Structure 1
């Protein structure tokens, strides 16, 4: 493990520090190192950004109002940091006592002076070195970190939780959260509460098995409790009555197929009921016909599950998609609020949830009772509505592609993905990064009853046509202001394409959001009017934050193109913007009123030029075989249809892909240090088939571009 410490300049405060300690002026109202339950429950504290959602509420709302809708036009760059070794930057930085902490690619962690951007220390967990075969299913993504009583906790993509001293970056402990032999990974953020830290994982698409969340003691990294999202083999006995209850909702031998339910994003601690709310994942595999033949609700897939924070014991659940079969997980953020609903009664303690499936839910946090649910997406074809008597969706006949094929809205990327929404208690509105895109589900050629769990390869038990390109006009997006009491749209701002970054809102009547086309903008939170924007020169995937130091408010944003829609989806829908692999230098940008710094030159848009040798003629049989190989081994990073969205090199334009001997060296591990996994088991015939598929895609997409 590598950790570097950068000593700050000498001064009155630095002279008092211990060796290797970094002490900056404490933010008003928060003593250094006192980030605990009291601090994270404090809704009025405004100077710091203490957790992924700023505090326990997960509202991503800041009481700061120095920057407001009236003066936001004066925003300018205050400072920036170039991050040339990073790729995907999805994280929410934290700010504590004048120090900013954030995770970059492969969970490399940095601490900065939040006022000046001066680097204080950095820590490299060397995720690639620890990954082994898990590189096959890993991205470089990290959505954030946790802070608690002077300690940072980071989660690595290869499955470790690591405790760091927040002052020095020194490693305090490290815990492997799952068996390295399992096809699992971590891309989400850890959540700290009650001297514990909780984390989940991903991997349902690769046969990762039973989904679970696990909590650890934050001082030592030792396990505290574990909760399984789906039940295991009945012959082995169930851990408790909750698992026995869940097993009654499954059919067939689901434990041999995987089960799924990996919890890779949404965690919220609710201090008023001392419970941790988890948003659970989709089934593994996606197709229920293979996973649980005969149907069933398949608890606790696609649910919000409340667990006792001390013990991890089940309290209640609400399932958004019983028996899901469309990858409609509920791993999206879970926001806490007190709302006075339309029935006119006293305020209710509720949670707000907008998962992939296109419905916005208001749920009572006390017992999980559904209070209201309406479509927030324009087009939802899998269900017509939610039955308020049962809380269950009213599914459309045929939506489960019973006849082998069905076009369904929203897509597997959701009407809302992990990109954070925010809630402003002053306006009463939720600001949702919404997308509109369909998915075509085809399982007519899949032998679902004989389907077996894959071995470190992508297999969904349904054909999603990932071997074909995703066209430029495939989907649209918008920033949606939603009234959760009346369950209706208040305003909506169109955004380009379908990958739509997260938001933050403030007491200054503002909503900030980045965009796929490189625009970073501020909107009037009541009207949606754009009051400021800047083009940062590269695609944005991360949500912004705001904080203050010494009475001055700042807005910070990580700029680094990446995420599942870019890597797995991608295609021409993403490639059209020119955010190619390592095409632009990644950045951390911080803005303030009257900021005078010049925006950095990050590089021009770069577009792949497919290589089409004049003497090469694709063989149809080899193209078909290569298509299947590409989908199972390559598409996870190199994107649909071999048209890279920018996360990894575009293979159509790769010189390495032209010669079989060079390609063999790559698949034998020549580029592991760059994150390219080994595939030594692929035969020469496999390599030739992949070459024919990629060259054919180069020809097809070149012809389409000329039309």
Structure 2
């Protein structure tokens, strides 16, 4: 790690940043990035964060030094300048455009006079938190066709800082350490096998000189794990796998041997079992325990993944590890034998709480499955679990066994398809919740809508392709527009204030739509949240009264932060519509969400700034060619589309606007050109990969026939709504 440079040396160095070559370890990937020349530089040491500062984060309430502000991940700010009484005077202080047009999900870090953040495509930005002036930018140059393995958009959730370095995970699986003052690469390592469909979208954490990072890709067939790397040079300190490998090759440790007893069949031949650690982490320094959330299996459908059942550890589990060694300590599985994509990768919060007259060290999580869990974080004992939404896959959690009591019909491979609440996007997804030390409430961004699951009788494992194992037609939207509209009417989203002691709702605010942003609570009796309809809003933390809002001109899913510079408190959030719902559920994306703006917006009391008006554009302009395919061909195309295309281009070919809507594509008029894009990768540089090896020419044309059918359906619906005969 480089020593801290003087301000003079930094200014001199900034003149030659573009010419400096990247330093890489031997196992680094061949892809490199570049730092943009700095315009200004801080005069004191950059990101001089260490264990002492992180452990005493509350002594620096004006900084936001780690992902959840503190190791406990409460996302609570002790700052009190902005209150429920004066928040109406909050105005735009500055904005900074990222220059990208995909999903934005990052939490910014603010420390030692610099804000560090990330945008889509894993690009890192350092800006002045007083003014929004750019300091430096680093682009890791991720190959655009890597988007095919990003189930839920090419997002990045942020960086970690430690002793003058900025750490982040690139979408292609690299862990990269940058000089915090200049944006130059100190080292980079490939954390995954680049031949496999792994991705990284989560933010790393640093504990005592080790940077922890997980990965994603379970939908595409990988074996999950989390790794720790030494901050000085990127050498790996330890790795913990979350699912067992091939038993014939032996097990890495006793935890994997134990986990293997809960699996059946030959899961390792279907892509590795899944169980990726793609987001949540929290750390208790007194217990020296790192808590991780584990994701879904490969494929989703357990009857294919593990025929005969089994709990399938450590899928959908909270796992406690020794932070220094990665050694397994305990686990709690939220959804044994998971089969609905009910991950436990959602935000983990730690707190000390008085329960039944005794102070307990608790861990709280509201995972996808719809139950709110309170655990004793010393040993994983379940203290309570209650529904925070109306769910239908289980009736309750048995407190003696700690297991959910399932509704048998919810396991869709027992026969008939199942309509289940919540959907595969969960009752709560990745969007961070917040715990207020003042009210004792947890504020949860809730999603509320069902999904239909059915067994895929024709499942075939295809390396590198999506592996859900569910019926593609049942998982799509109905053809009838009236039925689609009826489904859209029950798609809901809200901000829910939850009392973890009583496991009861304190208050709720219903939002206009779903897929709303992460949450910040403050000592000013405030809760801030961005919304899908393009606003940043503030509510009183005790009662949920609406007290302020500001139009940010795009749907917002990232969580806000608060920091203080020169005696002024700021509220800041990264805005930009994106993620799984934005891509897949284009039918229900609100017009207010559809701007492709990506930026940081930052507020303070008395500011009067204004954002430029967004350039709205229509979702699609219909001009389809004649329908020449028969219904059977179009139906085959629909199945192929749902299996290969809907994750980016939307259910039933209705785009969420982040990706071009195929119903308006000019390639529909050019059969040969369509095949060049789909099979030959003509647009790979723009993020549309080749599907050669997954589709043949006949299948490609069947998908085209289906999209043409949907284009005509959309055109007719558009005319009907406009009253045109």
Residue matched to 2:360: 348
Which piece of structure 1 moves more, 354-363 or 255-264? 255-264
Residue matched to 2:199: 185
Residue matched to 2:255: 242
- The answer to whether residue 98 in structure 2 is matched with residue 83 in structure 1 is yes
Q: Classify 1:603/1:466 alpha carbon distance in 2 versus 1 (closer, same or farther; 3 Å).
A: farther
Please state how far the C-alpha of 1:159 moved relative to its aligned partner: 0.7
Residue matched to 1:388: 399
Residue matched to 1:54: 69
Separation in 2 of the partners of 1:334 and 1:140? 23
Please state how far the C-alpha of 1:536 moved relative to its aligned partner: 1.5
Please state how far the C-alpha of 1:452 moved relative to its aligned partner: 4.3
Please state how far the C-alpha of 1:183 moved relative to its aligned partner: 1.7
- Please give the per-residue CA displacement for 1:423-469, whole angstroms capped at 9, x wherever unaligned: 011110100001111111111x515xxx4432222231112545436
- The answer to whether residue 225 in structure 2 is matched with residue 212 in structure 1 is yes
- The answer to whether residue 550 in structure 2 is matched with residue 539 in structure 1 is no
Please state how far the C-alpha of 1:18 moved relative to its aligned partner: 5.9
Residue matched to 2:23: none
- The answer to whether residue 534 in structure 2 is matched with residue 518 in structure 1 is yes
1:437 to 439, 444, 449: 449
- The answer to whether residue 128 in structure 2 is matched with residue 113 in structure 1 is yes
Q: Classify 1:214/1:136 alpha carbon distance in 2 versus 1 (closer, same or farther; 3 Å).
A: closer
1:266 to 264, 267, 280: 280
User: SS where residue 13 of structure 2 aligns?
Assistant: coil
- The answer to whether residue 704 in structure 2 is matched with residue 691 in structure 1 is yes
Separation in 2 of the partners of 1:648 and 1:69? 39
Mapping 1:41-440, distance limit 5 Å: 41-42=55-56, 43-128=58-143, 139-208=153-222, 210-257=223-270, 258-341=272-355, 343-345=356-358, 347-377=359-389, 379-401=390-412, 402-440=414-452
Which piece of structure 1 moves more, 624-633 or 546-555? 624-633
- The answer to whether residue 548 in structure 2 is matched with residue 497 in structure 1 is no
Residue matched to 2:576: 560
Q: Classify 1:579/1:485 alpha carbon distance in 2 versus 1 (closer, same or farther; 3 Å).
A: closer
Separation in 2 of the partners of 1:539 and 1:152? 28
- The answer to whether residue 38 in structure 2 is matched with residue 20 in structure 1 is no
1:609 to 616, 621, 625: 621
- Please give the per-residue CA displacement for 1:198-256, whole angstroms capped at 9, x wherever unaligned: 11111111122x21111111111111111111111111111111111111111122222
Separation in 2 of the partners of 1:456 and 1:647? 23
Which piece of structure 1 moves more, 520-529 or 467-476? 467-476
Residue matched to 2:465: 457
Please state how far the C-alpha of 1:277 moved relative to its aligned partner: 0.5
- In structure 1, runs of 5+ residues without a counterpart are 1-6, 8-12
- The answer to whether residue 643 in structure 2 is matched with residue 641 in structure 1 is no
- Please give the per-residue CA displacement for 1:626-676, whole angstroms capped at 9, x wherever unaligned: 112212321121111110112211101111333123223323233222222
Separation in 1 of the partners of 2:150 and 2:423? 24
Please state how far the C-alpha of 1:398 moved relative to its aligned partner: 1.5
Separation in 2 of the partners of 1:510 and 1:396? 39
8 Å CA contact 1:206, 1:459 repeated in 2: yes
Please state how far the C-alpha of 1:133 moved relative to its aligned partner: 8.7
Separation in 1 of the partners of 2:348 and 2:629? 49
Q: Classify 1:480/1:170 alpha carbon distance in 2 versus 1 (closer, same or farther; 3 Å).
A: same
Q: Classify 1:599/1:33 alpha carbon distance in 2 versus 1 (closer, same or farther; 3 Å).
A: closer
Q: Classify 1:430/1:88 alpha carbon distance in 2 versus 1 (closer, same or farther; 3 Å).
A: same
Q: Classify 1:135/1:358 alpha carbon distance in 2 versus 1 (closer, same or farther; 3 Å).
A: closer
- In structure 2, runs of 5+ residues without a counterpart are 15-39, 479-483
Please state how far the C-alpha of 1:543 moved relative to its aligned partner: 1.2
User: SS where residue 300 of structure 2 aligns?
Assistant: coil
Please state how far the C-alpha of 1:306 moved relative to its aligned partner: 0.3
8 Å CA contact 1:302, 1:330 repeated in 2: yes
Q: How many residues align?
A: 678
Q: Classify 1:122/1:300 alpha carbon distance in 2 versus 1 (closer, same or farther; 3 Å).
A: same
- The answer to whether residue 629 in structure 2 is matched with residue 650 in structure 1 is no
Residue matched to 2:642: 631
- The answer to whether residue 540 in structure 2 is matched with residue 527 in structure 1 is no
CA RMSD, 1 decimal: 2.0
- Please give the per-residue CA displacement for 1:117-171, whole angstroms capped at 9, x wherever unaligned: 1101000100116x66965767321111111111101111111100000000000
Please state how far the C-alpha of 1:588 moved relative to its aligned partner: 1.4
8 Å CA contact 1:133, 1:678 repeated in 2: no
